[in-house]
Amino acid sequence: MRVFPRYSSPSIAPVPRLRWRTVFGVWTIIGVLLVIQTYITAFGSLPVTLRGHGYTIAAQLARAWLWAALTPGVFWLRRYLAANHPHLAVRLALHLLAALAIFTFGNLLRLWTIYFAFGYFRPEDASPSFVLTQLDARSLIDLYLYALLVAVGYIADLMAQRRDDERREEMLRVQLAQAELAALRQQIQPHFLFNAHNAIAALIRERENDKAVEAITQLSALLRQLMEHAGRPEIELWRELDYAQAYLAIEKLRLEERLVTRFLVDDDCLDVMVPTLILQPIVENAVRHGIAQRRHPGTITLRARRAGLRLELEVTNDASEFAESTSRGRGVGLGSTRSRLERTFGRALHFDCAFNQDGRSRVTLSFPVRAPSTAPETAPA
């Protein structure tokens, strides 16, 4: 059974992983837009020298790249405040303080770095009066950028939480489907054993001791095969055919010449993976509600072939001469089999039952071909 990861607490929101190339690229684009905005709003007042143009471009790109470096910290602060301060007013006040701190120290660090790089720095540029003159209305763009970054972080976390919820819901749906399939499979196996033991008990009551011993031997061999593949939701078709043949062999000891079996199986579908114990309940249903109710010999025919990318299976049997018996031909095993297939293949499944039509009953099903997950074993001759 496939094991899925578990989460320690559904209340902890997943932290989306930051991609530095994406962060750097986005902020570089914003920096270019800021450069264009600067030239538009201050057209005619900017220096026309190459050095002056370089300073203007570097100043805005430095602002953008500074924010790129601050992005992880702002994202972390938003998550921290959301987790530790439930009151909106408190969070807004703390965000305002953080924005003002970045507004002040971020701009000073950016300006002093640019001044040093272009040779504009003077000792008086470190004075409080210079600091106040630089923190003018043009620098308010940093407050807007902080608000934008907080909003982007909130949206990114919200989307990550939504993806995590969807992923968790999908895992729960898969686990539920697996549990339902396992329950149905466990329902079929006791049902099969009950009927097999009834067949052996009937031989004993009829004092057919040799046949009863042979039937027990064949049932033991069949149970050994089932135990070898216990827990496997799917097996190769040829193994499933072996199960059906073993069950029919047990029934034939009881019904003798009243039961005739035919297997018409194409070689190219023997290694196709099918749900475990998917044929045996259908065959069992054909015996109990068809052949066993007849006064004359009857034939069960099992056909298997590939049709493109689908596997087609058909089980037909001569119906009972008693209409009321064949009308009851939908047993527990057949219903569970259909439910398992519907949960496994969904709308891709074609399943049809026709009972006592023109003296025959037929169960047909087809579903997409599933290749074996490992190297297939050689099917027995």
Residue 2 pLDDT exceeds 60: no
- Of the CA atoms within 13 Å of residue 334, those in its CB half-sphere come to 22
What is the total residue count of the chain?
381
- pLDDT reported for residue 359: 83
pLDDT tens track for 124-139? 655 556 665 666 555 6
Residue 207 pLDDT exceeds 60: yes
**Is the model more confident about 209 or about 318?**
318
- pLDDT reported for residue 252: 83
| 152-166: burial string, b at 16+ Cβ within 10 Å, e else | ebeeebeeeeeebee
Average pLDDT over residues 151-173: 79
Average pLDDT over residues 319-332: 56
Q: Which residue has the tokens 């027995």?
A: 380
Alpha-carbon distance 106 to 261, whole Å? 86
Cite the residue boundaries of each domain of the chain with CATH code 3.30.565.10.
175-368
CA-based angle 297:301:307, to the nearest 5?
165
Average pLDDT over residues 233-259: 85
Residue 194 pLDDT exceeds 80: no
Average pLDDT over residues 164-186: 63
**Is the model more confident about 273 or about 336?**
273
Residue 28 pLDDT exceeds 70: yes
Average pLDDT over residues 307-323: 85
- pLDDT reported for residue 265: 94
Average pLDDT value for the chain:
76
- pLDDT reported for residue 260: 93
Alpha-carbon distance 295 to 320, whole Å? 8
Burial class from Cβ neighbours inside 10 Å (0-12, 13-18, 19+) for residue 29 reads: exposed
Alpha-carbon distance 128 to 124, whole Å? 9
Residue 11 pLDDT exceeds 70: no
Alpha-carbon distance 261 to 255, whole Å? 12
pLDDT tens track for 210-222? 888 888 887 787 7
Radius of gyration of the chain (CA): 38
* DSSP category for residue 361: E
Which range, 182-191, 238-247, 370-379, has the best average confidence (pLDDT)? Answer: 238-247
Q: In this structure, are residues 281 and 191 in contact, taking their beta carbons and an 8 Å threshold? A: yes
Helical H segments across the chain, by residue range:
20-41, 50-84, 88-101, 107-118, 128-134, 141-205, 209-228, 237-255, 280-289, 323-326, 332-345
Alpha-carbon distance 299 to 294, whole Å? 11
Looking at domain 175-368, its CATH superfamily turns out to be Histidine kinase-like ATPase, C-terminal domain (3.30.565.10)
